[in-house]
Homo-oligomer: A and B are copies of this chain.
Amino acid sequence: MIIFGLDPAIRTTGYGVVRAEGPSRYEIIDCGVIENKKTMPHSECLRRLYGGVNELIDLYMPDCAAMEEPFVGRNSKTAIILGMARGGIIAALAVRGIPVYSYMPSVAKRAAVGNGGAAKEQVAYLLAAELKIDVSQIPLDSTDALSLAICHAQRHFHPELGKLGKSV
């Protein structure tokens, strides 16, 4: 099973691609960041996010995707912009028929590295150690996305660890 983890933002969207064959058998097959320069208009950012996710789908043919439940802060201007990134990315997945599940960020990190409050650096370090890869291969802004994909893999293969995330 191939699972995408996605951590959307208009300027820096993290992604992780995990192949899972069981709760304790998974590997990172790709991770990275879709970067949009600060000077780019939102429409161009959304074109790049939509197109970037679409390319990743072509490459890896995922079975499903996991995203964060959106954090609802106080600032509704920020919330609209975060929502736009999220909407462009969910549209890209939905057009290709890929189901999307959402998890609380703390739940995802606890599943991936055993600590729901872990910093990005810790997540990268612990995943690298566990999977015996070089930590420099894991961009910090892809650690949340990787945690989400790993969390979904665990729940899929071991339902006793917790329910699958909400269908988005």
Interface residues in chain A, defined as those with a beta carbon under 8 Å from any beta carbon in chain B: 41-44, 46-47, 49-51, 70, 72-88, 90-95, 99-100, 167-168
Having A84-B90, A91-B91, one finds 6 other A-B pairs with CB under 8 Å, namely A51-B95, A76-B79, A81-B83, A83-B84, A83-B86, A88-B91
Q: Using Cβ atoms and an 8 Å threshold, which residues of chain B touch A51?
A: 95
Q: Using Cβ atoms and an 8 Å threshold, which residues of chain B touch A77?
A: 72, 79
* Residues of A contacting B: mostly: helix
Give A40 Cβ to nearest chain B Cβ, in Å. 11
Bound Cα distance A78, B77 (Å): 11
5 cross-chain pairs, A with B, having the tightest CB-CB distances, nearest first: A83-B83, A87-B87, A84-B87, A47-B94, A79-B79
Contact across chains for A83 and B79 when beta carbons are under 8 A apart: yes
Q: State the copy count for this chain.
A: 2
Bound Cα distance A42, B167 (Å): 9
Give A136 Cβ to nearest chain B Cβ, in Å. 32
Bound Cα distance A81, B76 (Å): 11
Choose one: B42, B49, B70, B74; the contact of A80 (CB below 8 Å): B70
Chain B residue with minimal CB distance to A42?
B168
Give A102 Cβ to nearest chain B Cβ, in Å. 10
Give A53 Cβ to nearest chain B Cβ, in Å. 10
Q: Using Cβ atoms and an 8 Å threshold, which residues of chain B touch A73?
A: 76
Q: Using Cβ atoms and an 8 Å threshold, which residues of chain B touch A70?
A: 80
Q: Using Cβ atoms and an 8 Å threshold, which residues of chain B touch A91?
A: 46-47, 49-50, 87-88, 91-92
